[in-house]
Amino acid sequence: MAADLRQALLPSAANDPPAQAGRDATDPEGIPLLADGVLPPTLPRPPRLRDAYSLKYIYMGAWEGLLVLQFVLTRTLAETLKMPSDADAFDTHLMYETVSHFLLFGFLLGWFIDITEYNRFSWLFTWDRWYFFLIFFVTSPIYSYVSDYGCMAHSMEDITSWGPGMWAAVGSLGGVAVIFLLVHLYLAARRKTAVGFVVYLLSRLVVFGFYVVAAVFLGHNHYCNVHIHHYFTAWCIALFAEFNHPISALMLAMSASIFVQGSSSYSCSPLFTNDDCLVSVRPTTEATCIFQGGQNFTLRICPGEGSAPFEEATCYVGDQLQPDVNFLAPMGLQ
């Protein structure tokens, strides 16, 4: 029964109807119609499950379903076993926002790896690719478990405090990623035409370039934080894994699984965020505020948009009410 269902969903090339004028003969738009607008009686109507247009949706749905299954499993580990221990707590709003972004990223990834093409889907979604599914489902929990080690509990925001263990882990993962990417460039050069190779490489670089330009431009904004999350880095690497080759399948399994792990554990957090600012109750031309705390703290006051609107500012810090020059200097107010 399973074989019959697979045959219905994945028709072999030998059984496919001939193409007419560059189009599938089962495509009604590519077949001349009779006077009454019906298909010629000599051409059988295609079964619904074998319609090429419908199959693209089935293939993409299966790919998204695989990602969602891993998302649920990873989120379950985070909620029940605290793997990782610093996973974000999801409320209804954050869950909806994360899932919506996650599905969008998954759809784009599926498109880049050609999952809607019959040859690609039938090669990847088969028992012969058992290693792909094994690596895909074990990478996420392993990543969550390892990230809880003390030497690994860091991010790009505190890179200055990285220890030897963190540098070794990042260096190893980076080295593996570079090797995988070089292999994919070799496969692209061997399997594609010159134009195809340029399109393959340029299309991915356009995605990277968009975010790099945004990071450089927004990084100069005093009120913007730029944080490259590991889910996004893994997603970018996975974009290259479009080939029917064991190495490509391994890279897709690992990178896609890390993408799912980051999304389900910490949400699809934005790469660019504004600083949290103190907001006054109502617009005013003068304000007097007193801040008190049980421990030392720093204070930053920034406008909602544009440059600082203050013409004059006098701030005193501490019991002796001495002007805090460092507080005023960033805005040019002293």
Q: Are residues 223 and 171 in the same domain?
A: yes
Residue 241 forms part of a structural domain: yes
DSSP letters along 103-137, please? HHHHHHHHHHTTTTSHHHHHHHSSGGGHHHHHHHH
Q: End of a domain among 273, 291, 315? A: 273
Residue count of the chain: 334
Total tally of structural domains belonging to the chain: 3
Tell whether 82 is covered by a domain: yes
Domain shared by 215 and 301, yes or no: no
Neighbours of 322 (CB within 10 A): 9
Q: At residue 71, does pLDDT exceed 70?
A: yes
48 or 84: which carries more pLDDT confidence? 84
- CB-neighbour burial class of residue 133 (10 A; exposed 0-12, middle 13-18, buried 19+): middle
- Domain membership of residue 210 (yes or no) is yes
Closest CA to 250 of 129, 119, 168, 142: 129
Q: Is the dihedral of CA 247, 250, 254, 260 positive or negative?
A: positive
Structural domain includes residue 160:
no
Mean predicted confidence (pLDDT) in 164-176: 81
- Domain of 10, in residue numbers: 2-42
Confidence of residue 59 (pLDDT cuts 50, 70, 90): very high
> Do 83 and 207 lie in a common domain?
yes
CA 133 to each of CA 59, 100, 261: distance values in angstroms, whole numbers, following the listed order: 16, 24, 15
Residue 288 falls within a domain, yes or no? yes
- Of the candidates 31, 28, 20, 32, the one whose C-alpha atom is nearest the C-alpha of residue 52 is 28
pLDDT score, position 211: 84
- At which of 239, 254, 273 does a domain end? 273
Whether 148 and 286 map to the same domain: the answer is: no
d(CA 114, CA 116): 5
* pLDDT, tens digit (0-9, with 9 covering 90-100), for 266-324: 988 877 776 555 555 566 667 777 777 777 777 666 665 555 556 566 666 665 555 54
Intra-chain end-to-end CA distance of the chain, in Å: 80
Tell which of 273, 288, 322 closes a domain. Answer: 273
pLDDT at residue 317 in the model: 61
Residues forming beta bridges with residue 226, ordered by sequence position: 272
Residues 262 and 312 in one domain: no
pTM exceeding the 0.75 threshold for the entire prediction = no
